[in-house]
Structure 1
């Protein structure tokens, strides 16, 4: 859809989503799709598959079968910033040189992550040894001389050469991630909240839309100071930290270790703004059961990861009323349990909204690392507190069986369920309805312009 005028694209998405809703006889009526501030050139995460054909490296979005006919060594995309194209073209030329042929022969993917002003490069390779690392460091020195800001580079081991650009199934005894230069963490600021996250952890690919998404979530939830928020699949704490000043307390859970560690670090990052803490949740928290936790080290993806793969799923764009299938970009991949680090001391952060100088102080959220299962929700997670509200943003594949029913049994006042595609909406809403909840609002966001994908927020409340 990237070739369409953006206004026409939004009309098609509105019509396609409405057709999907009617086709599946879903409750409620979707609101108009919220447009993205950037319609093109917005993707802050991109990737290219590397193919060494003869003495030339191809960096393509397409399939290897097209190589003999394809004389374009690099496939550009209008959805990515111009800086990404500059980096890819530079690396394609360098990696085709004899001096860097060793890297080209073991390259699975080139990945670019970061923001609109700074980029980090990740080399996904199927072998990691001394000679290869030395070549990568030499290549990194060239990267740092580019006229655009490449602030970090990393090498990531994926011997399985999987379709996912950051695969999690690697030998545990091997070194699987190494910094070549630059900071260890990527950084972002939304509204006045500062965030850091691991280069392989999930982050939204449309940076221009994140503040709109946060604002809409807050509007839908309409927080009250006597409410408590349970944030599931929280990642590095994007929603938790933004919403914390509006709630009495926030408890957040994710099954991916680096993201949880980043979420805790983000509490300290925002704590420096000062203020007075609210009553602590510490006495109500249950520590993770070591028997339920497996240490995978620097796990590459959070359970809510927008990975990039070749899988295809039903999407919302329609031609007439017929549903179409599009390549799903980005994708999400669920993760297993990872270590539960020691909870940080209470942190305080502030947020300014409305008129300049208006401060909102709150205790930092409390973060727990655990796979979100029925057993965990019912046996390990602290019991529901009064006036609980739930926010859940699960992977594209949806929650595990029984999770929604278990959440409904907690009897939250309301739940905001965020979907990164439409395929899981019908079965999920059926579970919520069976648990005694009804749809109040449906807010679609165009997080992925130029594709048939939508991010859809659905607000549910307990039936009277």
Structure 2
């Protein structure tokens, strides 16, 4: 296979980066612009030892799942990579990803992965928007003050670059995010505010983050700056408030959204880190509130909170189902974050103990327990693999919930869990590959996979969550099924 050669390729799969996958003469070819089910004339653009890349010259036969993208930025923005595939096709694809990795990496061949639980309306689902702000080269005017030499861009990065695509509309963000981005752009151009340049470390404005409480309508705007203050901040607050108030009323004629918090975040560090450690409340409250089911959660600028509240309830309901709680169990919630999953389970458990290595998250978790009047849940600061054998060595855990980051569970943590010998393990994963790796380890320790349920938390993107239920069947691998 050589550069420039052309082949007819049947696309049989897709990668998480959005490229179609086919095979030519035994070699895997990643084809930009193709989706599963396409049959295309492909030109080879790159050849490596074990794979090649190509581009579509002509679609000979279109996939039955192919659609025209609804977003006008689909060819530029790197946020949604599956806009040429209908939603049904995305759900099938994500089910296949989970199944393939469990078989190939985890060696799980006797479990049928359930169809992916999707959304009825897979739009406007994100309650958190994270906008990088970018401008052209900074220049000095005749007074020696820094000014941008072109209007600023607020939006999302182009694929595999740090170039910002200015997006005035986004089909997956909540409405407050759009109008607040517009308010910041107006503020920058009206007041001549400088925008941060990562190459030379100059400029003030870095990022805009918007958090929206879907159940309460409360909105928080976080403005990240390369400095200790922001000039004319009162004007920015005024523009933001007007922007949110301009949004349409709900079906009852009432204000759907309300700007409750404007926060200045100080980040003077060079590099890609988005938030700094210090926050200054410019207007309103330092936190906002949202609800999941019957629970209320306090959301701070730096706290983690699932970005799709509709699917969050679907996910958590599945966790509760798999945990099979009767009110007599002690539940260990590891990688607990701000405690959302454990608190969601608390009413059906005897006791919930959460462990988290981020101190601010532990404070949020314990505060959320108090807010909801939950007295049978406690949250401990530290690494689970260290806390379990020291502080909780005498605790009999009936159910362990694992909700690790994309990198999966620490090997020492899995060893500590196996020593606890819980009756059930519920694993919540955001990466099927690390999920499969960890399940293989737990399987070697005597646990069998009983159910696998993918949940689509991020429609139109290459991400999928999965909830796995495992039960203890003894150390003999023959008995794992």
Partner of 2:457: 447
Q: Is the 8 A contact 1:197 1:259 kept in 2?
A: no
Cα distance between partner residues in 1 of 2:423 and 2:161: 54
For the residue of structure 2 that corresponds to 1:267, the secondary structure is helix
For the residue of structure 1 that corresponds to 2:404, the secondary structure is coil
Partner of 1:357: none
TM-align CA RMSD: 2.5
Offset of 1:424 from its aligned partner? 0.7
Partner of 2:233: 136
Higher RCO (CA 8 Å, separation ≥ 6 residues): 1
Cα distance between partner residues in 1 of 2:193 and 2:94: 44
Cα distance between partner residues in 1 of 2:233 and 2:392: 44
Offset of 1:197 from its aligned partner? 2.8
Partner of 1:15: 96
TM-score (norm 2): 0.69
Partner of 2:154: 59
Cα distance between partner residues in 2 of 1:96 and 1:103: 14
Alignment of 1:20-59 (within 5 A): 20-24=101-105, 26-27=107-108, 28-53=111-136, 54-59=149-154
Alignment of 1:214-363 (within 5 A): 214-271=316-373, 349=374, 363=375
Cα distance between partner residues in 2 of 1:423 and 1:444: 13
CA change 1:445–1:182 in 2 (3 A) is same
Cα distance between partner residues in 2 of 1:410 and 1:112: 41
Q: Is the 8 A contact 2:303 2:364 kept in 1?
A: no
Alignment of 1:362-381 (within 5 A): 363-372=375-384, 374-381=385-392
Offset of 1:439 from its aligned partner? 1.0
For these two proteins, the number of residue pairs brought into alignment is 360
Offset of 1:390 from its aligned partner? 0.6
CA change 1:29–1:160 in 2 (3 A) is farther
1:93 matched to 2:186: yes
For the residue of structure 2 that corresponds to 1:100, the secondary structure is coil
1:125 matched to 2:225: yes
For the residue of structure 2 that corresponds to 1:140, the secondary structure is helix
Larger radius of gyration, structure 1 or 2?
Answer: 2
Cα distance between partner residues in 2 of 1:150 and 1:3: 35
1:158 matched to 2:267: yes
TM-score (norm 1): 0.72
Offset of 1:76 from its aligned partner? 3.7
Cα distance between partner residues in 2 of 1:375 and 1:64: 39
For the residue of structure 2 that corresponds to 1:402, the secondary structure is helix
Superposed CA offset, 1:86-132 (max 9, x none): 22122212212234347893122111112233321111222224xx2
CA change 1:64–1:136 in 2 (3 A) is farther
Gap regions ≥5 residues in structure 2: 1-81, 137-148, 198-202, 248-257, 475-481
Superposed CA offset, 1:416-455 (max 9, x none): 1111111312220121122221111111100111112111
Offset of 1:19 from its aligned partner? 3.1
CA change 1:388–1:270 in 2 (3 A) is same
CA change 1:66–1:215 in 2 (3 A) is closer
For the residue of structure 1 that corresponds to 2:152, the secondary structure is strand
Alignment match of 1:77 (pick from 170, 180, 185):
170
CA change 1:154–1:382 in 2 (3 A) is farther
For the residue of structure 2 that corresponds to 1:94, the secondary structure is helix
Q: Is the 8 A contact 1:255 1:371 kept in 2?
A: yes
Farther-moved stretch of structure 1 (402-411 vs 387-396) = 387-396
Q: Is the 8 A contact 2:431 2:465 kept in 1?
A: yes
Gap regions ≥5 residues in structure 1: 171-175, 272-348, 350-362
Offset of 1:220 from its aligned partner? 0.8
1:107 matched to 2:205: yes
Offset of 1:66 from its aligned partner? 8.1
Cα distance between partner residues in 2 of 1:38 and 1:390: 33
